[in-house]
Amino acid sequence: MYRVMLVEDDTRLADLVTEYLAGYEFKVDVVGRGDEAVARFKANPPDIVVLDLMLPGLDGMLVCRQLRDITKVPILIMTAREDSYDEVSLLEQGADDFINKPVQPRVLLARLRALLRRAQGKPANDMLTFGSLSIATSDRTVTWRGEPCVLSNTEYKLLLVLAESAGTVLSRDALLKKMRGIEFDGLDRSIDNSISKLRRKFDDTESEKIKTVWGEGYLFSPSAWSA
């Protein structure tokens, strides 16, 4: 059983997450204040941290930075669109991944499993499946509607990054950071070009599978791949 420290002051959301994850052998320890998080972590270290940004006592970004100074445990940030921090800032402060609110429990579970697998150094040989799309990360093969789908290296990396963050808007900055470790300079159109190629290969003429969120980035819609 994995132990999760959930730093969240919304008791309704905390109860929902706790109840859902309990069904998948996760034990959740809820911390309601940012200024109590580090002490609770030291007293009873978890396997992974899920951290809200807007917290009483201490801002979630500062909590993330303090935790990263003392541990390599994965940190998953929950963000709302009105939060002032962008995805790149979160990654630079030590977050391993982020998920947008309102949180979809199934997506949260998938993110937790992926982060734990990565932290344990296990090969990511699980199959990522969304409807008719399957991504085998062990041998980098992609299947669409039961048939192999040939992708370039860049297209595969982009699809995998999007799929691993299903349900979350990723900016061009965040995509480039995850794929290449570089920042978006405002001119590089490689992400846009690769998105267009992926849409053509997966018959996404209406941009429903990989959505454009104007002014923010791209979103992999986990429920749109059944057709």
Q: Which long-range contacts (CB under 8 A, 24 or more apart) does 115-124 make?
A: 115/48, 115/74, 115/76, 116/2, 116/47, 116/48, 116/74, 118/74, 119/47, 119/48, 119/72, 119/73, 119/74
∠ CA 142-129-104, nearest 5°, is 140
Position 102 scores a pLDDT of 84
Q: Could you tell me the strand order of the sheet in which 75-79 lies?
A: 26-31, 2-7, 48-52, 75-79, 97-100
Helical residues (DSSP H) of 71-152, grouped into ranges: 87-92, 105-119
Bridge partners of 3?
27
Please check the confidence at residue 227 and state whether its pLDDT lies above 70. no
Bridge partners of 205?
none
Is 75 or 182 the better-scoring residue by pLDDT?
75
Model confidence band, residue 124 (pLDDT cutoffs 50, 70, 90): very low
Is 180 or 133 the better-scoring residue by pLDDT?
133
Position 121 scores a pLDDT of 64
Amino acid present at 33? R
Position 171 scores a pLDDT of 87
Model confidence band, residue 81 (pLDDT cutoffs 50, 70, 90): low
Which of the residue ranges 79-88, 98-107, 155-164 would you say has the lowest mean pLDDT? 79-88
Mean pLDDT rounded to a whole number for the chain:
85
CA distance 164 to 107: 9
CATH entry, 124-227, from 3.20.20.70, 3.90.1150.10, 1.10.10.10, 1.10.3720.10: 1.10.10.10
Burial class (CB in 10 A: 0-12, 13-18, 19+), 43: exposed
Model confidence band, residue 75 (pLDDT cutoffs 50, 70, 90): very high
* Residue ranges, CATH 1.10.10.10, the chain: 124-227
H/E run at residue 210:
strand 210-213
Is 220 or 87 the better-scoring residue by pLDDT?
220
**Tokens 């204040």 sit on residue:** 33
Q: Does domain 1-122 have CATH number 3.40.50.2300?
A: yes
Which span out of 49-53, 86-90, 97-101 was modeled with the highest average pLDDT?
A: 49-53
Which of the residue ranges 37-41, 87-91, 121-125 would you say has the lowest mean pLDDT? 121-125
pLDDT digits (tens, 9 = 90+) for 194-217: 999 999 999 998 889 999 999 888
* Residue ranges, CATH 3.40.50.2300, the chain: 1-122
Position 31 scores a pLDDT of 96
Please check the confidence at residue 185 and state whether its pLDDT lies above 60. no
**What's the whole-number mean pLDDT along residues 162-170?**
88
Position 188 scores a pLDDT of 57
Please check the confidence at residue 14 and state whether its pLDDT lies above 90. yes
* DSSP SS3 for 182: coil
Whether 218 contacts 169, CB under 8 Å:
yes
Answer left, alpha or beta for residue 54, where phi above 0 means left and psi between -120 and 50 means alpha: beta
Angle between helices 190-201 and 172-180 (to 10 degrees): 90
pTM: 0.58
